[in-house]
Structure 1
Amino acid sequence: MKIAITGGTGFLGRTLVRLLQETGHEPVILTRNPENSNRDVQQVGYLHRDSRPESELGTVDAIVNLAGTSINDGRWTEERKAAILESRIRTTSEVLRIIRALPEKPKVLVNASAVGVYPYSEKAVFTEDSPQGDGFLPGVVREWEWKAQAAEDVGVRTAFMRFGILLGRGGGALPLISLPYRLFAGGTVGSGRQWVSWIHVEDAARAILFALESDSISGPVNTVAPGALRMKDFGKEVGRALGRPHWMPAPAFALKAALGEKSEIVLKGQHVVPKRLEQAGFRFKFPDARSALEEIYQA
């Protein structure tokens, strides 16, 4: 398949591009700066006033939309929160414009999303059919998915990959999580009872490819490993993989003071399960945190 990708130079995007090349597909990266990009993959400019990517793409079989301002960088000021939402809506709107402008429509749109759509809970287990939460992150996810769903109006199958915390080398949340352990200061964050729903970046890329190739997959898809852990246990696995102790707690009040509203990401959580992926026959390469962290730190 020929697959156009936004966010193709990001942490997950780079892994996906490599996987597509290894499996005989043809990735094309939609980028704001094609002149500064890796020439091993075709680059097409977009999101500029004079950009017309639909005239350069030709026929594409699928589009993967991964672009959006990171929720992990900086405090959640009102300006930052506006940028997080606007970046996702703007990119998705442009993807929809490209789809409508293409003479031959792609068969599928795989759009990034997030488990942040679910409410925080220490007891509930969330599938794709579970109720959604209230607040900033659930609101962002709802608007993002609603915008992307418009692709179905022109006959394009659409899947929303609700990613958990991405684990891997060179990006994602793991470098920040592991830093205290590398300094021999790792320990329980907050109560330690909050859930961590995560996925190895390689499995995340494999899940995207699985969704691209599986005609039966559409709508929300929880893209998390089946082995969610409570924060205390997850931290112990990080310490074990690094050969570091798990002993110095990080109290909730300190994180709230340092991170503000964004502290919810680490002080609260959701136990999310990949019901639709598993029902469709997807097999995880790294189903548990121990195997994922050992591969990351010992490779």
Structure 2
Amino acid sequence: MKIAIAGGSGFTGSNIAQYFAREGHQVIILSRSEKEGYGNIRYVQWMTAGANPSEHLEGLDAMINLAGKSISTRWTEETKQEIVESRVESVREVYKILESLKQKPSVFINASAVGIYGTSEEKTFTEESETTGSDFLSSTVQKWEQEASMIRDLGIRTVYARFGIVLGEGGMLPKMITPYKLYGGGPLGSGNQWMSWIHVMDIAGLMDHIIKTEAISGPVNATAPNPVQMNTFGKVLGEQLNRPHWLPAPKGAIKAALGEMSILLLEGQRVLPKKAIENGYTFIYPTLERALANIIK
């Protein structure tokens, strides 16, 4: 297959690209900067002056969009605007590209986030749950998916992959490991908040499964089938590192340090991948113990 990935240079995107390249597919990463390709992976510039990515994308089988400013930065009003605009802008650019192609890909997968459901310690969310959260992250994802829904009008099967916290050698996990290595790990806030996570290899495997399964469209929760509360996550992490889980980080201190972005650590949602399981996806790392053992080994 010929697969294009927008935003394929980051931690998650590069893992997805390498997965498909190992499977023998041709992978095109859309990037603002000019880069040298390797193996089955090549780079094509987009969203820069003079760039014409469409000429490289004829015959495309699938497109994945992961592009957007990282949310792992302090949320000033300016930053929040950039987070929203970068996601909307990337989808609009993808629309222009796909509209211009003589032969459209069979599927478009747009990255999304479980934050769309809002936060709760009591509720369990599936793809059938309402997306009526009112916090910044939820409203951002709602706008993102609304923009991506326009691509259905091109006759392309469209999927919103709602990512949980992606675990691997990059992303958030190394930052979470650091205090444990220094013997200072412990509960964040109450520790009762839910963490819906997924191993990075299951992200790649699920993307592959979505592309191959024509029955899948609309929202898909890209989360492992066994979410945990943050206190449990810390205990398992400590066990894998052979370090104690004992020093709590008070909610007030985290809020003071991170501001509104503290919602990423202090609040969460219990999200289940109902659609992935019903459509036959088998998770490589269904439990946190297996996932962390693989990453930390």
Match for residue 284 of structure 1?
Answer: 283
Distance in 1 between the 2:188 and 2:44 partners? 43
- 2:33 maps to a residue whose letter is N
Matched, 1:177 2:176: yes
The secondary structure found in structure 1 opposite 2:219 is strand
Match of residue 269 from structure 2: 270
- 1:129-158 Cα deviation digits (max 9, x unpaired): 111211211111011111111111010000
Residue 223 of structure 2: aligned partner: 224
Instruction: Tell me the alpha carbon deviations over residues 1-52 of structure 1, each in whole angstroms, 9 at most, x when there is no partner.
Output: 1011111111111111111112221111111112x34443221111013211
TM-score, normalised by the number of residues in structure 2: 0.97
Shift of 1:85: 0.7
Report the equivalent of 1:153.
Answer: 153
Give TM-score scaled by structure 1 length. Answer: 0.97
Where in structure 2 are the equivalents of 1:102-141 lying within 5 Å? 102-132=101-131, 133-141=133-141
Note if contact 2:30-2:44 (Cα within 8 Å) is conserved in structure 1.
yes
5 Å matches for 1:1-299?
A: 1-34=1-34, 36-40=35-39, 41-72=41-72, 74-132=73-131, 133-169=133-169, 171-298=170-297
Higher alpha-carbon deviation: 128-137 or 271-280: 128-137
Answer yes or no: is the 8 Å Cα contact 2:166–2:198 preserved in 1.
Answer: yes
Q: Secondary structure at the match of 1:162?
A: strand
Return the alpha-carbon distance in structure 2 between the equivalents of residues 271 and 57 of structure 1.
38
* C-alpha distance after superposition, 1:90-142 (max 9, x if no partner): 11110010000111111110110000001211110000111121121111101
Q: Secondary structure at the match of 1:199?
A: strand
The structure-2 alpha-carbon separation of the partners of 1:208 and 1:17, relative to structure 1 and needing over 3 Å to count, comes to same
Question: For the residues of structure 1 that align with 2:175 and 2:36, how far apart are their CA atoms?
Answer: 27
CA contact (8 A) 2:32 2:46 kept: yes
The number of residues matched between the two structures is 295
Per-residue CA distance 1:232-264 (angstroms, 9 max, x = gap): 001001111111000000000000000000111
Identity, % of aligned pairs?
Answer: 46
Query: Any unmatched runs of 5+ in structure 2?
Result: none
Please, what is the CA RMSD of the aligned residues?
0.9
Q: In the alignment, is the contact (CA less than 8 A) between 2:36 and 2:42 conserved in 1?
A: no
Helix, strand or coil for the counterpart of 1:192? coil
Tell whether the 8 Å contact from 2:6 to 2:31 is kept in structure 1 after alignment.
yes
What code does the residue aligned with 2:86 have? S
In structure 2, what is the Cα distance between the partners aligned to 1:136 and 1:37? 37
